[in-house]
Amino acid sequence: MTKPVRLVSLDAFRGLTMAGMVVVNNPGDWGHVYPPLLHAPWNGCTPTDLIFPFFLFIVGVSITLSRGTMGDPWKIVKRAMVIFGLGMVLALYPRWDFSVVRIPGVLQRIAVCYLAAALLFRWTTPTTGNDDARRWAHGRTLMLWAASLTLGYWGVMMLVPVPGGVAGDLTPSGNLGAYVDRTIFGSHLWVQSKTWDRKAS
């Protein structure tokens, strides 16, 4: 079997993203941090808020390049479970307190996104036509999925009221996403809020 060719630009981007993660997680004196090295409190975006989306971009590109994506689907499930498990171990260490451990951490979210995206990529891959035609058809299908999911998410967040609240409430604790977080995870959320889980960090 020939050794797969690595995409150097993706490797370089992964390295820059890792370096960025190290910087924003260790800015020096937490009492005197440059604002770009902090998450936006709620609305807005700083360079720090881009680290997690960059990792998801890297995962998405890697899915299209990996031979394993189109192989045994259980390998995808196994890889997602390993990533999720590592995230839980890091969240538990060093106290190992299962009563308050934060479940939706960074690696856990990456695992869920990877699982959904890899299975969707497999499911929507055309099986007929020449290579170029299949690539174009697959790209159009994935773009439609992305647009539909984005619009669907917007519609749910803006039009579906939270029990006891109003539709379109986008405050940290009042939005539908926070309600779902509380319903599913209970106390296993970001320790500094307990009512909603922040952007991945």
Which residues are designated catalytic? 39
CB 144 within 8 A of CB 120: no
Contacts 24+ apart (CB under 8 A), 6-9: 7/61, 7/65
The residues near 23 (Cβ < 8 Å, ≥ 6 apart) are 37
SS3 annotation, 31-93:
CCCCHHHCCCCCCCCCHHHHHHHHHHHHHHHHHHHCHHHHCCHHHHHHHHHHHHHHHHHHHHC
